[in-house]
Amino acid sequence: MKRDAIETIRLPVAGGKLEAYHVREPRVFTKPSKPFTRIAYAAAHVVADPWSSREPWLEAAVDWEATVAYRRHLWSWGLGVAEAMDTAQRGMGMDWAASLELIRRTLAAARDVPGAAVGCGAGTDHLDPDPDLKIERVIAAYEEQCAAVEKLGGRIVLMASRALSVCAKSPDDYARVYDRVLSQAREPVIIHWLGEMFDPALAGYWGHRDHAKAMDVCLDVIRRNARKVDGIKVSLLDKDKEIAMRRRLPKGVRMYTGDDFNFAELIEGDGEAHSDALLGIFDAIAPAASAALSALAADDRAAYHDILAPAVPLSRHIFRAPTRFYKTGVVFLAWLNGHQQHFVMVGGQESARNQLHLAELFRLADAAGLLRDPALACHRMKQFLATRGIA
């Protein structure tokens, strides 16, 4: 597909120089007319309130209207919304009280959207991690959040627990917590195994730093509780580990890829099985993700790869180490594309990536055809560079 250059902007490169970059026409993506053959959730970001007088490092200030509007954007492309997850800065600016309000508002908005799917993050983040915590306290914290989500009519995504990671003495403690919490769930949940590259506090989750041994513990939990587990989202950024675990899942339990490096390959599958999706990158590339999933549903794999081939380098860049700062790139692209009126983040996280990183994000988004209004994107990119002393 040929795309003509229609705008020119000077972008920073290494060495303190500016180089001309020619922005091309965006790709045109069509909204889905039929269901996908893969379940696909976008883990959605929150829009900060730039007018708030709250100190951003201490208390979340959310623009609720703009935040819910972005969920409607994701639903319009046929994607489900994974709410109050790490993409929504859970544990990096958004506490449990703010997250529960976010869940409440999103579930209320979903009632007006036919077919809108929502998964809601439930964890233990209102509990301060402490090596001296009793396992019963962790269980009670999970129970409290799960009950709050279920009271609102939400479906649970069971998030990894920093508190459990700190106080667990052995893999048996993980088994005890998950067996108890899963046994009480009203509906099957999605377990979320978030790797240490996304959250260093979760290193050694499931009682082992060796992912293969950790996988054994997790799979044992899933097998014992298969009726209460819809699937598991694995975020290890390692396709071979995900495929190995996918092959060992009990029948009927889904693998939801959280691999923002290799998602295209994992969603397509290997002839034996495929992964469904619960991805932070789908927030940023919703039109492309939707069009690619529609192509896959039509068994047009050439179109599927044509759409996603340039989106994968963009995703790998956004999620590059330190991976936990990927939210900055997700929000930056939403701002470039006019989905919000500012580049301000909860917790002041707009400062987490440097200008060279964000300039390359601009180039890669353009290469993927995802700058939906090039003139606006260029204008905002120039604004951003000016605030960082580059003109």
Read off φ and ψ for residue 41, nearest 5 degrees: -110, 140
Residue 328 lies in a domain: yes
Residue type at position 189: V
pLDDT of residue 330: 98
Residue type at position 207: G
Alpha-carbon torsion, ordered 268, 293, 119, 344, to 10 deg:
110
Taken in order 223, 225, 228, 232, is the CA torsion positive or negative?
negative
Residue 244 lies in a domain: yes
Residue 16 lies in a domain: no
Residue 3 lies in a domain: no
Closest to 63 measured CA to CA, from 323, 357, 358, 341: 341
Q: Would you tell me the crossing angle of helices 355-367 and 374-387 to the nearest 10 degrees? A: 170
Contact between 280 and 259 (Cβ < 8 Å): no
Closest to 346 measured CA to CA, from 327, 321, 324, 329: 327
Residue 275 lies in a domain: yes
Count of structural domains, the chain? 1
Residues of the chain falling short of pLDDT 50: none
Residue 139 lies in a domain: yes
pLDDT of residue 167: 98
Alpha-carbon distance of 12 to 74, in angstroms, equals 31
pLDDT of residue 391: 76
Contacts of 175 (CB under 8 A, 6+ apart): 217, 220, 221
CATH number at residue 199: 3.20.20.70
Contact between 287 and 339 (Cβ < 8 Å): no
Residue 2 lies in a domain: no
**Cis amide bond preceding 322, omega within 30:** yes
Alpha-carbon distance of 254 to 276, in angstroms, equals 7
pLDDT of residue 295: 98
Residue 374 lies in a domain: no
Contact between 126 and 90 (Cβ < 8 Å): no
Contacts of 324 (CB under 8 A, 6+ apart): 86, 92, 197, 198, 199, 200
What is the token pair recorded at 159? 């998030």
Alpha-carbon distance of 142 to 362, in angstroms, equals 40
pLDDT of residue 1: 61
pLDDT of residue 258: 98
pLDDT of residue 131: 96
Which contiguous run of DSSP H or E holds residue 195?
none
pLDDT of residue 49: 97
pLDDT of residue 271: 87
- Its domain, for residue 301, covers 29-353
Closest to 289 measured CA to CA, from 94, 74, 127, 9: 74
Q: Would you tell me the crossing angle of helices 211-224 and 239-248 to the nearest 10 degrees? A: 30
